Structure formats: C-alpha cells, structure tokens
Structure 1
Amino acid sequence: MQETPRLQSRLPQVGTTIFSTMSALAQQHGAVNLGQGFPDFDAAPRLVDAVHLAMRGAHNQYPPMPGVPALREAVAAKLFKLYGARYDAGSEITITAGATQAIFTALLSIVHPGDEVIVLEPCYDSYAPNIELAGGCVVRVPLTPGTYRPDFELIAAAISPRTRALIINSPHNPSATVWSEQEMLRLVDLLKGTEVLLISDEVYEHMVFDGQLHQSVARFPDLASRSFIISSFGKTYHVTGWKVGYVAAPAPLSAEFRKVHQFNVFTVNTPMQHGLAAYMADPAPYLELPAFYQRKRDLFQAGLQSSRFTLLPSQGSYFQCVDYSGLAPELTEMNDATFCQWLTSEVGVAAIPLSAFYAAGSQARVIRFCFAKQDSTLTAALGKLASL
C-alpha cells in the first residue's frame, strides 16, 4: 500500500478532547456521566412536533443563506423583549450550525495573520484552536483564581496595538460564574476608544439563578456596536445534537460574518429552523428555564452538603464546580485529571477536571459536574458520591 504523504499539523498540540475521553471512560465503567455538558432528558414533544410538521410541509430544501426569515425575526424579537436591543432580522441576525461554528466563523471573519485575540482562562476548549486556525495569536488572561471573576487590570495590560478581539463568556463555562452589571460597565470603559471587537459567548443566557439578570452585551449599546453575540438553541431547548445557534451583530460585522458563513456551512438544517421559529412564538420555555435548572442545581447542591467537597458558587449555566482538597490525603494528592479518572472508575461518577480549560493546566483541586440531568440520574450520582 502506498505510504500516506507526510503533513504538518495545523493543530499539533491537539488530541482527543477530555470530554470524549471521560465519556468513553464513563461508558467503560458504567459510571453516571456528569462530565460532558448535555441533558439526558428529551426535548419538548411540541418542539419535535413542530419540526415534524415542517418536514411534512415540504420545508426540506436549502433555506436562505442567513437563515429562515421567521426564525431570524423571532430571535430579533426576543433580543428586544429581553434586552431592549433592536437588531434588524434581515441584516443583523444569522442562523448558524451551532454556537461553536458561530464562534469559529466570527473569528475567521475578523482575524488576520498576526492579530491577537484575548481569552480569559479557564475557557471553553474551542476558543484557542479557532484563533490559531484563523492565523491569530492567543493571548491568555487568567480570571481571578478561586472566584473566576474578570481582572480588568490584567485585561487592560493585555490589550496591544495588535489586539483584534476579546472573547467573553457569561454565564461561564466551566466555573458557572455570571458577570455583573458593574463588570459589564467596567468593560464598556475599558474598550472605549479602542478598535477591539468583542465576541460574547452567551449560550447559557437563559440559565441565571437566584433572581439575577443575564447581563447580555445587547443591554449595553457601546458594547453591542462592536460585538458578535452568540447563543444556542441546543442549550436553551435541550437539543444539543441539533447543532443550531445564532449570531447577532451590527450590519457591517454581520456582512463580514456571512461572507465566511456562506463558504464554511452555507445554510443550516431547514425543517429544524422552521420548527424552532414556530416554537419560539411561546416565550414560556426559555422564560421558565432559570427556575427549571435552579431546582436541579439546588437538588444537586443539597445532596453534596454532607460530603467533604467544597461547593463553589453556581450562579448560572448547568454546571457545579467543587473543590476536593478536603477529601482524604491520598485523594487530594492526585491532580484533577487523575482524580476524575479515579472518581469514574472507582466511585462510578464522571466529572471534568478544570485543568482541561487551561492551556498549561491548573494546580487547583477543582472539578466540574453537569447537573443537566434527570432527577433520577442526579440522585444515583449523589448516592455514589456520598461514599466520599
């Protein structure tokens, strides 16, 4: 057989993600999988029915490149209702093949070779590879250790004449922190007078707890005017496998975004767009989501109260981080990746080490659980974790 030509990897440091590794380990050991961030319960039957009706209604060919007009109009209406922001559905809303594609396309549309993009660590694992594939340079700024709040002095120090963009994420994956209004106003002041663009990853926008408001970039005109705002129907409606999201951006940014979008995906699944548009006519599913997930958070936290885990605040998203440094010495001596492997194989619960969200790892003894699960799944996991 002819030998395959050698190639130079575009991403030489990238291997199998920790999410795939831990899910495979969980399956191997029959563990309860609280690692990867996806629900183990079904979508609303009414949403599935809406997609079925769209398929039966002959909505099975290519939609317009930016997305089905009815869905873009529904997104624009939601942004105005929730955040008071007016986006033109025709020129400023684009439907994407999930939020990850939206982030990648936004970066490809604005980053030139040598441009710098600031990320705040720990961060979602696609950010840095996306920047590198776009030819940019990743500039890593740590969030405040322990609290995971933004350090504006460090962010300011990282901005240079080569800075093209800053990526922020609230509610935050993996820490479950939520940016406050005061922090958003600090960001307004920080970016004022610069040419820095903002990519705001808001996929957990409808999962904010304890009466807080989600401080979308859309609420702040000075930020919205320089921002790509990205969200996910998959996260909001429990259909992560559908891979449908959207980006809202001013017309000049959207025009550049669509130049790339038309060549890397062109369009997004037609019947699902029509189904989502019909389902969005009722705002109750996303308006009720904070209470839905807060109840699951509270159930999970209550089950861990008697353990020797230290619970970190979970202000939003569907994640709960815990510090395991209060456990037995033989366990606290393990780094977080080793501890997660042990937890999966010996206790029967899979989690994700927080070091996976840092380029150089982390010495903190912190791991992340996902509570977007059926109550029975959470109860089963808590029963196993009680042994600790």
Structure 2
Amino acid sequence: MQKNRQIPYQAITRHLLFWLAYILYQCVNNGWEDKDVFAFKLDPQLSTSVPICMLVTYLNLYVLMPLFYYPQKYIQYAIGMAVLILIGGLLPRFFAYAIWVPWDKIHDPAMFKMEKTDFWIPVRIFKNAAGNAPVLFIAMLIKLMRNAYQQEKNMREMEKEKFNAEMGLLKAQINPHFFFNTLNTLYALTLKGSEQASKVVLRLSDLMHYMLYEASENKVLLQDEIKHLESYIGIEQMRFADRLELSFQYSGDITGKMIAPLLLLPFVENAFKHSLAESDGWITINLKVTGNRLFLKVENSYQPSPKPDNYGLGLKNVKRRLELTYPDHYELLLNQNNGIFEADLKLDL
C-alpha cells in the first residue's frame, strides 16, 4: 500500500522567504550605486544570477554535504566546494557573455560600449564567485544549525521515551511486589478464619483503585500518598498485631504538595519485611514536611542474614526512580547497624 506523504509546507515557505530576501537585497544593492540615496532596481540579470546561486547552494546542501561533510571527508569536501564556487563564478559569466552583452547592445548601447565583450575576464569570474559565496555559506550555516537543533530535539525525545519506558517498568515491578505481600497477608488471615479478612479486602480494594487510577500520573497529592501508606500499614497491622510494635506519625503542611506516586511505599514495605521476618519486631515511621522539603525516616528492627543484603527489589527500584524523577533534589541514606535498619530520605517536592 502506498503511503501518503505530507507536503513540507513549512520547509518550502522557509526556502521561499530566504530567496525572496536575497532578491530584495540584490534589488536594493543594485539601486544603491554607491550613493546615499535609497533606490530599488529590478535588474534583468537576476533572472539568471538567482537560479545559479540557488543551484550552487542546493548542490552544496544536498550533494556535497551528505557525500563528504557529514561523513567527515573534509579534504574531498573542500575540493568539491572549490569546484562548486568556481562553477558559481563561470556560469554567470557565461550567461552575461551569451545573453546580457547582446541585450545591452540592443537596449542599452551606452552600457554596451563600456562593457568588455570577452568571455574570459578573471576579475568578473572571481567577483561572481565571491558574490555567491556568502549566500552559500549562510545557507550552510542555517542548515547545520537546524540539523543540530533537530538532533537535540530527537535526543530529548529519545531520553523522554527512555525515561517513560524505564519509569513504567519500575512501576510495573512495584505493583506486583506490593500485591504479592498484601495477598500473602490476606491468605494468612483467611487460614485463621479471621473476621478481619473482609476489612483487608476492603482496604485492598481502595489501594487497587489508587494504584490503577491515580498512581499512573507523574505526580499525585502528598496527602493521597500518605493515605495510601496508612491503608497499607493498616493491613499489615491486622496481620501482625500480636508481634508488631509500630509508630507512624507525620507533621507539617501537606496541603497541595505533590510527589511521585508510590515513592514512599517501598521504605515501609522493606521495614515490615525485615523487622518481622523471624520474630517480633518494631517499626518507627516519621514523616515531616517543612516548606517544600520532605523528610522521611523509617527505622525498624533487623535480623541479620548470612546472605548478602541488597535491600530488596523495592528499595532498588525506589533509588532508581529517585535518580530519574528527582535528580540532584534528594538525599537518601540506608544504614544497618546493631540490629537496626534505617532509611533516611530528604526530598525537594
């Protein structure tokens, strides 16, 4: 199936404006004649000089540059440019000899008498070449600037796509990790025949609604994120009420503050995971907002493991999300000592 190609109207318009400005400049320059009087003169020779200038300009932009300049074959490009500039000097002289000298003989005899009728006049050829060179180099400079801008734009788009893809992957890893823990809690309560199982289902439903419809945004209200944490903590308290000593408190003005969704949950999940792995434990969660700065400190009892501890998948993901979402605007310290694990986060909202 043949694809429909859109006509590049903007590019065509840019080229037309460029050459219109060049023609206007030539008309004004021709009418000035070294006098302090502004004049506008439409010289018939523009009908050949402008197409020649366009020819050498586009040969450079779309032949020499792709063949030699972009692949960094600068010697070949310099030779090609020298030949092209020479052509830009010879062609106007050819048309002057073949068309405009006979034209002056008929329409402007006075000018014809002063005009040299020989073809090979090096000064005239050099002057024609020098006249085309500024336009050629200006067009080349504009082309290089547009290429650089387009490359920068493409790079930003690629980085944005990479960022979105990586963030989506990290969120996709967070969600199953969270639900795995929550479903384990629900499973344990149903085995015990606990009446709290229905409450867990209700809280889980609220959490799923939050994660499906709100946490997909780039930023959410901090108060909603805190409410989400309270729901999660409430579920875990139902499961570990007889084994857990918990303190959760927050302070400061959280109204209207925004934060990346599901950013704080992994710290709390990690605390429950390690503090209650084999025995009773305790967890202390303190969250404080001062101005636009958030302080989160999570401490929990910790049972040393003979296996090397990498702090779990959740904390790995949250560290990467902090790097992507809040570069140079956060401080995170993770420390374990004397049976205590501590996560200390400082974040510019």
Q: TM-score, normalised by structure 2?
A: 0.22
Radius of gyration: which is bigger? Answer: 2
Q: TM-score, normalised by structure 1?
A: 0.21
Greater RCO (CA < 8 Å, at least 6 residues apart): 1
- Structure number having the greater helix percentage: 2
